[in-house]
Structure 1
Amino acid sequence: MTAEPVKAAHRWPMPPQDGYTVDDLFTLPDLPPHTELIDGSLVFVSPQRRFHAKMISLLENGLLSTVPEEMKVEREMTVLLDSRNGPEPDISVVRSEAVTDLEQTRFHAADVLLAVEVISPDSEARDQDAKPRKYAAAGIPNFWLVDLAGSDRHPVVRVYELDPLSKTYAVTGIHHERLKTAVPFTVDMDITLDALNKR
């Protein structure tokens, strides 16, 4: 009779006493894709709803259709807010001069003009509370929060602008069928369920 080999359990790295830093986020081996750093803690992404992927594509294509030359639309890139926070917005609009090459892995908050979060069940509290507070404190001037609403579960986009004095966001619009705004540039896109289902 032979003994069954013992399978070694996966060993996660032991966090430092003061938590991880953004340097750790980019140097720790074998982190899952789209790992974020929030308050010195690593946050792993759970499997996403189909809505999440489709909505990101819809918004990305809408933004790309009118983005001016001095800005770029980026998808799922880490934004360095401070030494203990490196979230990954679903979409960011950044200054063109901040884009260096295809090997780039991050942007600094000062170069981000818009951060967009599409709510997922596992990230609802972070997307509605922690991340907007941190984006605002870092001076990112615009934030969009996207979710499903109504009995028909249609997309809704809440648009926020930064109050530079209080460093907090104020809602400037809630959009159910058409997203129209002038900041950070002119945007006018169909966000109906029909548009989403065509993706």
Structure 2
Amino acid sequence: MSVDAANYARLREITDRLPQIPGTGRVEIAHGKIVITMPPVRRHELAVIRIGRQLNEQLAATHPGFVAHPGADLEDVGLGRLRCPDLMVFPESVLEEDAAVYPADVLLAVEVVSKSNPENDYDEKVRDYAAMGIPLYLLVDPRDGTGIVHSQPRYARREGFAFGDTVRVGAWRIDTGGLLTYGA
């Protein structure tokens, strides 16, 4: 479902004016609504760091000039979506612009499933990232120590894994042995 341009522009203006409220996470726009997420827990952030480090070590050889970066906004105005993936792979030069990252620049989106809203990562973001045309989506679930590599076309291919496995994600390999579950 896409949102009409005028409504999305209004929502985007509101999100840009929202104050940074202590104790809140990121602000997204999805399905015609502004969504404020809870801040991630430490093991969530540790997973993002460890996956990002592995990707950045490999990107110099596989995709020079690209970076695995957390915290950037991902915007698809046509779909009316503003998402904040936990980690994305895109050209470092994109960060020179004063704008969100656009889906055409993104090779991989990574989400570490939150304790508070897992259906967002398993359902809504799978649909959104596929609709945006992002070739790969890595979903990591510290609740039970599993994950899924989604690949194109439109994430029809899904390969599950368990923490401890080394998984292929496009041109890269991710060792999930260093990832921790929330309960451990």
Q: Give ranges in structure 1 of 5+ residues lacking alignment.
A: 1-16
Question: Deviation of residue 88 (structure 1)?
Answer: 0.3
CA distance in 1: counterparts of 2:70 and 2:106, whole angstroms: 12
Q: What is the identity, as a one-letter code, of the residue corresponding to 1:156?
A: T
CA distance in 1: counterparts of 2:139 and 2:30, whole angstroms: 18
1:22–1:80: 8 Å Cα contact kept in structure 2? no
2:95 corresponds to 1:99: yes
Greater helix content: 2
Taking the TM superposition and a 5 Å limit, the aligned residue runs for 1:112-151 are: 112-148=106-142
CA distance in 2: counterparts of 1:119 and 1:67, whole angstroms: 24
Question: Deviation of residue 177 (structure 1)?
Answer: 1.1
Q: Deviations over 1:21-58 (max 9, x none)?
A: 434433x2415452111123111121323321111111
Find the partner of 1:43 among 32, 35, 57.
Answer: 35
Q: Deviations over 1:106-127 (max 9, x none)?
A: 2001111100110112221111
For 2:3, the equivalent position in structure 1 comes to none
Q: Alignment partner of 1:59: what SS? A: helix
1:90–1:116: 8 Å Cα contact kept in structure 2? yes
1:177–1:191: 8 Å Cα contact kept in structure 2? yes
For 1:157, the equivalent position in structure 2 comes to 147
For normalisation by structure 1, the TM-score amounts to: 0.73
Q: Give ranges in structure 2 of 5+ residues lacking alignment.
A: 1-5
Q: Alignment partner of 1:66: what SS? A: helix
Instruction: Output the aligned Cα RMSD.
Output: 2.4
For normalisation by structure 2, the TM-score amounts to: 0.78
User: Percent of pairs identical after alignment?
Assistant: 22
Distance 1:140 1:23, change over 3 A: farther
